[in-house]
């Protein structure tokens, strides 16, 4: 088995770093906004978007990472299943052993949400040829995705309907 070229490894590293920077800056923006620093929040959101542009560029350059929409749905489906079955159980176990209840709860909810994501991808694969349209709402507390309309309460974390964001 041949090893990946250094440039491929570097693209993967840069993609991960820029993706993390984008997410981190969005969290910084939310904090600045909550503290009343609207201009600083705007700056953090702008830099977050720029980091996302970088990440997307690196992802496009990584060979074999983006396929046809059908291939991408299949990959996304399998990634969600793997996270649910392999990755989150280990994270939950570690958090329980350390007594870190907040992390255990976050990991458990994420695991449950990953299962929902897999269901949505599987459903989309079945409906792909129909070009069926649906609205999606994302719980801003745990990441649960609702199809059609936002529920009165999130089935994973219990958040109220107002905590759901409609995805355009």
Domain shared by 24 and 57, yes or no: yes
Sign of CA dihedral 47, 53, 56, 60: negative
Domain shared by 73 and 122, yes or no: yes
The predicted-structure confidence for 50-102, as pLDDT tens digits, reads as follows 999 999 999 989 877 888 889 999 999 999 999 999 999 999 999 999 999 99
In a domain, 29, yes or no: yes
B/e letters for 21-47, b = 16+ CB within 10 Å, e = fewer, are bbeebbebbeebeeeeeeeebeebbeb
The structural domain count of the chain equals 3
- Domain hosting 104: range is 67-131
Calpha distance 15→152 (Å, rounded): 37
């Amino acid at each position: 088995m041949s090893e990946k070229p250094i440039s491929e490894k570097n693209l993967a590293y840069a993609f991960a770093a820029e993706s993390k920077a984008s997410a981190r800056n969005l969290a910084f923006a939310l904090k600045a906004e909550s503290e009343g620093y609207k201009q600083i929040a705007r700056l953090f959101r702008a830099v977050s978007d720029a980091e996302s542009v970088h990440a997307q560029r690196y992802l496009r350059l990584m060979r074999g990472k983006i396929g046809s929409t059908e291939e991408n749905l299949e990959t996304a489906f399998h990634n969600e299943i793997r996270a649910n079955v392999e990755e989150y159980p280990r994270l939950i176990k570690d958090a329980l052993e350390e007594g870190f209840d907040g992390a255990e709860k976050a990991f458990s909810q994420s695991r449950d949400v990953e299962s929902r994501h897999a269901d949505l991808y599987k459903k989309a694969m079945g409906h792909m040829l129909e070009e069926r349209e649906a609205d999606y709402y994302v719980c801003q507390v745990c990441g649960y995705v609702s199809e059609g309309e936002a529920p009165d309460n999130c089935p994973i974390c219990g958040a109220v309907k107002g905590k759901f964001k409609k995805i355009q």
